[in-house]
Amino acid sequence: MEQTNIHLNKFYSQLGHRYNTVHGGSVHPVKVPALHSNKPEQIDELVAMELQHLKTHYADEEQRYVDQMLIENPIVVERRAPPTKTEATQSQVQVHTQTDTQTVTGSRDAQRQRAESCRKSRYNNKIKKAKLRFRHKFVCSQLTESAGALDYMREVIAQAESQLLARGFSRAALERMRQNFGVDRCGAAIMTMDH
C-alpha cells in the first residue's frame, strides 16, 4: 500500500509542477478538516466546497489570461474615412436659409453623436470578439493539459493493476474495483470523446 501512496504523491506533485509551469502560480488549497472524522454527508459538502473553489480559481485564471492577452495585443479600431469634399459641398448647397441653418446644426450634432456611438459599438464588438478568441485559446490549452493529466492517471492505474496482479490479486476482484470506482465508465467516456 505504501507504493501506491508514493505513486499518488508523485502524481499530485507532477500536477502541481505542470500547473506552476503553465500558469506561473501555485494552487491555494482550501483548509479542510481531516476526512477520517467526517461523516459521508460532510464529505459531500467538502467535495462541493472544493468544486466551487476550483470553479472560482479557474474563472480567475481565465480572466487573468484574457486581460493579459488584451494588454499584449491591444485592439485597434480604424477611423472611417471622412466624407469627400463633393459630398460636403452638395449638402451645403441644398440648405441656405436662416431657419434651415438651425436644423443643419442640429442634424450635424445628431450625426456626430451617431458616428460616435457607431465607433463605440465597433470598438466594443472588436473587444468582445478578442475576448472570446482568447477565452477559447485558454480553454483549449486547459483541455490539452487535462488530457495529459488523464493519460498520466491511466498509466498510474495500469501500473497499480499490474502490481496487484503480480502480488496475486485476483482478476475478478480487480474488475469489481474498476466497476466500484467507475474506472471502466471513465475509460469508455474518454474513448468515445477521442473518436
pLDDT bucket at 19, cuts 50 / 70 / 90 = very low
One-letter amino acid of 47 = V
pLDDT bucket at 99, cuts 50 / 70 / 90 = low
- Chain centroid offset of residue 57 CA: 10
Least confident of 41-50, 78-87, 110-119: 78-87
CB 155 within 8 A of CB 10: no
One-letter amino acid of 107 = S
Q: Specify the pTM.
A: 0.54
Percent above pLDDT 70 for the chain: 62
Q: How far apart are CA 45 and CA 35, in angstroms?
A: 12
Residue 3 confidence (pLDDT): 44
Summarize the confidence of residues 21-35 as an average pLDDT.
47
Residue with the bigger pLDDT between 192 and 68: it is 68
CB 104 within 8 A of CB 95: yes
One-letter amino acid of 187 = G
Residue 72 confidence (pLDDT): 94
Least confident of 6-20, 90-104, 161-175: 6-20
